Every structure is written in structure tokens, then in C-alpha cells.
Structure 1
Amino acid sequence: MSHLLPLTVQGAETTHRGKRLVGPIDLTIEGAGATVIVGPNGSGKTTLLRLLHGAARLTHGEIAWNCPMDEAQLHQAFVFQRPVMLRRTVLENLIYPLKVRGTSKREARKSAVAWAAKIGLSDMIDRSALVLSGGEQQKLALARALITAPKVLFLDEPCAALDGRATREVEVILQAAKQNGTRLILSTHDMGQARRLADEMLFMLGGKIHEFGPADTFFEAAQTASARAFLKGDIVE
């Protein structure tokens, strides 16, 4: 189990220009596996992920890891819905996060080459990351996050713009990461993906958590009317 967890959230809120975007949030994430966040568009999924990761400003409340915050930040990573590529080659994109952590050039290159092979980009290591397809860029972004062996990985709709094949390839990488001990916290609009990946589900609506618990319970017997309606495909607001 990661020394970062549990992640404890008490009364957390974030606001922008006086408008509350998310909160108040009370939440504890612990143990291994994957927490999948779902909810209608605009429900606050991305903002919650950014808040937990420390990328959104905490206006009120408290977010605490099981270690000092600066240590927690060193052992987590974030993959965005639209992958951010450095204006460098595939290999240099993979080397970069290791370089900033002080890894030797030899070891960084060795690890980067190994990860390029894992994601099926070995024959593209000298190609600019900017010319890759969407699926290839997302796999590269995922590998660049995992190459540092983070204890916790946040992902915001990682397969939203991908076709079925690319989605399957990304999910294989995520399942392997989970089995290797990386704690996943991700949002998705794809209920099939949620069923495949989730150990626990978090349902958001209006910037608040409406339901949180084991994935099998959520899908088989959701406790709130809003969650049941969402699972049926009804419009929930």
C-alpha cells in the first residue's frame, strides 16, 4: 500500500470569481485499486481531480496526504484529457521527467526505450511527438507519467477522444499499472470503461459528491435517485 494514502479531504471547496465550482467535499481515498469519478458534463469531475492533485486552488477546507505535501507531489502524476506533448521526440518526451528528477542520462535513456516498447512506439522514438496520432500521443502521455513509478496517478477522461482499439491499449496499460501498485483516480464518461477499471465509484452532481462506494454496489444497487437515473441514461441536472 502506498505511503501517500489515505488521502483525506474535509470540507474542501474551490471557487472562481466568487462562484463555487466544487464543494464542500468530504472524502477519504485509501487502499489499492482504482477510483472512477462519473457524472454529467459540468458536474465538477475535472475540477475535483485538479483539486486533489493540487492543480486547483483550495479555497476552503483541508486536503491531507499521509505524508508531507511536498513529498506527496513527488510521487503522483496527472494525465490530461488532451495530451500535452513537449516539442521534442518521443524518446525525449519519455526521458524528460526522469531528467528533472536527476536520473543519469544512461538510465533515463534505457528506461525510455523500454517504455517506448511497452506502448508500441519503438519504431517512432526519433519522431516528433507532435506528429503522432491522438491515440499514440495519449499512450505517450501515459507512459511519460508512469515512467517515474508514481504512487498515485490522476487521469482526466484519458480515452475521451480515442477509438476502440486505442482505448483498449490504454486500458491494458492502466490495468498493468494498477496491478503494479499505482493507485488510479480517474474520470470517465464511458460506463463500460468504468465497469472494467473501477474498484470504487464516485458520482458527482452540481460540484458535490452524491455517492461514493464499491463499484459492484454502485452498478447493481445505486443508493441515490440521481445516480440511478444517471446509470439509466436519463438527463440529470
Structure 2
Amino acid sequence: MFEDTYQNLFASSNQIAALSIDCNYYIVISKPIYIKSGSLRRIFKNVQYDTYENQQLQDFKIYLDSIPVEYLKEVQNDSVLLRFLYTHQFVKADTVNYFVDHLNWLNNPETMNLEDIPQYSKLVQVIGRDEMLRPVLHICLNLPLDDLFVKAISNKLIIMEDYMFVPGKVESWIIIVHLSQTSQNIKPEQIDKPSSTLSLIFLCLQSKSIFQKQI
């Protein structure tokens, strides 16, 4: 169902190939500086990790084995574990706390109910990709950012990750937040708390947010 709905936004096989061999993308995507630059890693799948990262992964798996939370031991995917470690600056206890919250959210049956919420269908839209094939989400913030609005956003982010990412090449997104005139009447706390919820859920996925204000 979702594949049909977003078929026009999928990266074509030619586009994916161009990320590796076309000169326009090769310079940006394939060089190590894009994959990993200092303390920032953008690509986690289908790439080699350095000595420090491999050691951190090994230490973290040992740490997980010492924790009496059984389902944590089921997640031994290196790309997932390393992404979470980077998110929390390799602090194991903080990573585990986030991991538990994230997996509890992921295991909630309501999380995977990805049906459109009609009143937000025009406010939260996947509008295409940027020049690096990262999916772009446009959010028109002209209603309070309540739990239902947050759910509409998280639904789209899940779909973008599941159907629009390309492992080893496209592992992040662009988010454009359009602040309409009515947004000026929204109290800061109406944005801060839901934004914190989204950060908790999707913190481990690198994103770039652009805010546009209507004049």
C-alpha cells in the first residue's frame, strides 16, 4: 500500500547508481569526508568502521550482555548500535536509556499504524528529494503541535526511512518547517514538548531542518 502511494518518490536504480559513479555525486557522497568527518558520521550501513568504532561496538555489546533487559540482546545490528552510540557520544548508560525508550515506542502497536490523519494530510507532506537524494518533508505549522500532529509527522518520517533511504548512500532527511502567520499565536510550550518527543524518537537519524517564516 505505502509502496504504491510513494512510488513516485522512490530513488530510481539510475539515481542510486549515480550516487557512486556520477561525478556530481561521487565527489560529495563517496569520499570518506561525507561518510565520516571528525565526530560526525553520516553513513552507517555497508561501510567499514575504524578501529575506535569497532572497539566501541565490542565494548557496548559486552555492556548490553550485563543488563537484565532481555530484548536489548536481540538488537545486535552494528549499524544500529553504532548510530545510537554516536547519538550519545559513546556514553553507554545514556545510549541504553535511549535504546529502551526507543524500542518501547517501536514495539507499541499504534506506532506502526501509518494511515494518513486527514486533518494533517496537507500540513505534513513528503515533497521529493534534494540533490543528494535525501527525502524532504515539508511541515506547515499553522496548528498547535499536539500529540496528533506529532503522530502525523512521525508517520511520514517512518515511511521516509523505510521506503526512501538507500543503505550506504542515503541515510538522512531534510525537514522544512513553514511557520505561517497563525504560528505566531502558538505558545512556545506547544512546540517544545512535542518537539522533544520527536527528538526522542528520531534523534539517532541525522537530519537537517530549515525554518521558513511567512512574511
TM-score between the two structures when normalised by the length of structure 2: 0.29
TM-score between the two structures when normalised by the length of structure 1: 0.27
Q: Which has the higher contact order (CA 8 A, sep 6+)?
A: 1
Structure holding more helix per residue = 2
Structure holding more strand per residue = 1
